[in-house]
Structure 1
Amino acid sequence: MYEHKLKVFCALALGTSTLGYGLQAQADFLADSKGELEARNFYFNRDFRQSGARDKAEEWAQGFLLRLQSGYTAGTVGFGLDALGMVGLKLDSGSGTAGTGLLPADLSSGGSQDDYAKLGLTAKAKISKTELKVGTLFFRDPVVSSNDTRLLPQTFRGGLVTSQDLTNFKFIGGHIDRIKANSSTDFTEMTANRIGGLSNDFNFGGGDYQITPQLSLSARYAQLENVYDQYYGGLVHVLPLGAGQSLKTDLRYSKSSEDGNFRDLDNRAMGGMVTYKLNAHSFGAGYQRMSGSDPFPYITGSDPYLVNFIQIGDFANIHERSWQARYDYDFASLGIPGLTFMTRYVSGDNVQRAAGGEGKEWERNMDIGYVIQSGALKNLGVKWRNATVRSNFGNDLDENRLIVSYTLPLW
């Protein structure tokens, strides 16, 4: 088994293995390693319903993701290396239906490229429960989150430190200088969604405190240099209500302002979600409100941490108020583990429109997915995602996504 892993990791481990570490260090590097290959088949169809718009965006593509994670060498400071290889292949598209975000644009034809590939390497070091990663990063955090809603995930380039050396505390901090979009092979500078600006420095830090098993608090500070500063605070509480019942409260607040000489910027985002769980059923209700003279700023292409950020919309326009109703069901209670269902509806109003008047929008989502739990096809998943959007200031959309994925552990 070690010989097989050594062949896979020989190129990745070359720098570490030549530094004079003993056989035990190399064994730890390999013994704790992991490898998996994910095949992801993605069909995307978006129909535009407003007058004067294009008819639709529709594409079908196949993706492959190879994830390799080493262990750590022995010693006070352990070293390791991870790799992420990705390939996307066009199965069906056209010059009139491109632009789904599954494939890179082909500027010469007006359609999409036939294929694309990208490789990410991440060096890492660990002391006790403190870990440093440098290189290609994929992670989720309240002030910056990687997007994984298309064929291949979006990644960052930079450094990330996490520490859990103190009981019940988790500290996190990082620096990002580039972003690579889902359908891109190039790292680019960062901009703020709906705000603009251009920056190659995003810095953030903060921590999470698990006060009790049921209550946790989070705090963050983030800066997209020369564009915006952002402060975030969050609270999550789960109240047990008896056998099979609980009430979860998720509260979030952010305050954003300009950084450097960028134009005046002012946004305050408040949101909360309450979810009542009764055995296999979950019933949720959420509220989100934007205050200030600007929409909620976040890195373009990433996922904003908002309770009403859903399949298509973020409901984060100037002065917008939005409400959410959600229902989830887990079919394991009926003897079908792996089958899940979700539906939600979000309605927003009070939007400040450039053309004047009150902006209103709504979005309805439905997800149904199944992952095979055992047998030869274990880990094969199928998911159908459906969305309908209507707005008096944006696009009217009907959207369907069909995703078939299979993850094969390599060792």
Structure 2
Amino acid sequence: MNIFSAKPRARLTLAARLVICGTASAALTPAHADFLKDSKSTLDLRNYYFNRDFRQSGVPQSKAEEWAQGFILRAESGYTEGLIGFGLDASALVGVKLDSAPDRTGTGLLNTARGPGGRAEDSYGELGLTGKMRLARSTLKVGTLLPKMPVVLYNDSRLLPQTFRGAWLNSADIDQLSLDLGRLDQTNLRNSSDNEDMSVYNGVARNIRLGRHATSDRFDFAGATYRWTPALSTAYHYGELEGIYRQHYLTLNHKWVPAEGHTINSDLRWARSLDEGSSNVDNSALGAMFSYNASGHTLGLGYQRMSGDTGFANLNGTDGYLVNLVQINDFGNQDERSWQARYDYNFAALGIPGLTFMTRYLSGDNVTVRGRSDQGKEWERDSELAYVIQSGPLKNLGLKWKNASARSNFSSDIDENRLIVTYALAFW
């Protein structure tokens, strides 16, 4: 058993050395009250059972079924005093196998890369370190990152989160405007102990062809988000995976309150993805999601359309920022048109805070499938029931059941259940 079996890390960049050395130096001086006072540390416990049934499709492996325990420890410092403040964050991620077998691996909960015969390792994990600098309302972070923006959205849908290594500058010095600029050079997938180069996701019917570059160690991103009013914001983001693809992403979010206790939310997205020298990436993605909320009830309707020579482009392992990204599918295949109907209920309206329910149905068609003359079609139905204990010794203990069924004429039929128990401990 080898919990931290990661490959040796690549040498730190000059920027990383400057930030981390400056942090260490400043922390040793007397002027570090805020560095300690504003520090915090949490341990997130995540117990995860995953069962995915493939028997409807007649594939060789009839199901994927595993059970695991995750530990996510995060320690975040404050900043040292002075014009430029320095800080340091650290994380330790550990996944432990509770139940698995070679004929039912592949849930994404456990690491099978080194296990003999595809057997999941007993445990795996990684350590992360992030140096940070702050000047006014601008912050530079270098090291382990969890980017969350349209062009790169880290995946946290299994036992441990996906992480990246790189540098990320965020500035909020101009009122109502947030600016982002950065570069990533490695990723650690959600069920891996190793940093590795990045690639583009090319599953199902994305129909992306790669040339001389299948992977890259450079993803550059930039973005600007402007809040026009408390209810309206727009954003533009750019991402480029060197040698493979580049992407422009526009978003608009609006919240309208027509009457007290009633809200209408609008989420509009448009992305243009193009090749970057060594692929055939060519996709336009349009998405819109509208929801109406009143008295604990929320009704939502969504529409998504893909056009171009390929499906949607996003970094492998990440969540593609699409309105129809759901439990199993994202409906981002070439030429796919899809719609979604969703219903949520918050039982706080009935005097049971912490209890929530969600169900949705999605249908997609017009998919271009290689080697076939007919169009691909698929649908997915999801339900989710969750409860978070609100008080007492088990306050913040979360229980969640997620159920999904997906059917397709060009991919595997899937029935799936996930049971997740979470608990967070704050040390200071």
The TM-score normalised by the length of structure 2 is 0.91
3-state SS of the aligned residue for 1:101? Answer: coil
Tell me the distance in 1 between the aligned counterparts of 2:25 and 2:280: 53
Question: Is it true that 1:101 corresponds to 2:117 in the alignment?
Answer: no
**Paired residue for 2:97?**
90
Q: What's the counterpart of residue 330 of structure 2?
A: 314
1:254 aligns to 2:266 (yes or no): no
Q: Find the partner of 1:385 among 379, 402, 412.
A: 402
Q: Report if aligned partners of 1:156, 1:179 keep a CA contact under 8 Å in 2.
A: yes
Per-residue deviation, 1:17 = 4.8
Q: Provide the C-alpha distance between the structure 1 equivalents of 2:344 and 2:106, rounded to a whole number of angstroms.
A: 31
1:191 match: secondary structure: coil
Normalized per residue, which structure has more strand? 1
Report the CA distance between 1:27 and its aligned residue: 1.6
Match of 1:30 in 2: 36
Query: Does residue 363 of structure 2 align to residue 357 of structure 1?
Result: no
Report what 2:10 is aligned to: none
**Letter of the aligned partner of 1:85 in structure 2?**
A
Please tell me the root mean square deviation across aligned C-alpha atoms, in Å: 1.5
Match of 1:183 among 187, 191, 194: 191
- Give 3-state SS (helix, strand or coil) of 1:294's partner: coil
Out of 131, 140, 143, the residue aligned to residue 139 of structure 2 is: 131
Q: Which residue of 2 aligns with 1:394?
A: 411
Q: Is the 8 A contact 1:17 1:26 kept in 2?
A: no
In structure 1, the partner of 2:249 is: 232
2:82 counterpart (75, 81, 103):
75
> Equivalent residues in 2 for 1:8-407 (5 A)?
16-19=23-26, 22-23=29-30, 25-48=31-54, 49-105=56-112, 106-194=114-202, 195=208, 196=210, 197-260=214-277, 262-354=278-370, 355-407=372-424
Note closer, same or farther for the CA distance 1:229–1:306 as it changes in structure 2 (3 Å cut): same
Amino acid at match of 1:165: D
Contact 1:128–1:165 (CA under 8 A) maintained in structure 2: yes
- Distance in 2 between residues matched to 1:234 and 1:163, nearest whole Å: 19
1:149-180, CA deviations, whole angstroms, 9 ceiling, x for partnerless residues?
01100001101111111111111111101110
Alpha-carbon distance in structure 2 between the residues aligned to 1:21 and 1:81:
13
Aligned with 2:279: secondary structure?
coil
Query: What is the count of residue pairs matched by the alignment?
Result: 398
1:9 aligns with: none
Contact map agreement 1:145 1:303 (CA 8 A) in 2: yes
Q: What TM-score does the superposition give when structure 1 sets the normalisation length?
A: 0.94
Pairwise CA distance, 1:53: 3.8
Alpha-carbon distance in structure 1 between the residues aligned to 2:401 and 2:427 = 27
1:251-292 per-residue CA deviation (whole Å, 9 max, x = no partner) reads 0000011112x1332100000000011120100000000000
Conserved 8 A contact 2:272-2:284: yes
Q: CA deviation at 1:139?
A: 2.7
Letter in 1 for 2:53: D
AA partner of residue 352 (structure 2): I
Deviation per CA, 1:331-376: give whole Å up to 9, x if none: 1111111111111111000001112211000011111111111111
What amino acid is the match of 1:249?
Answer: S
Distance in 2 (alpha carbons) for counterparts of 1:53 and 1:227: 33
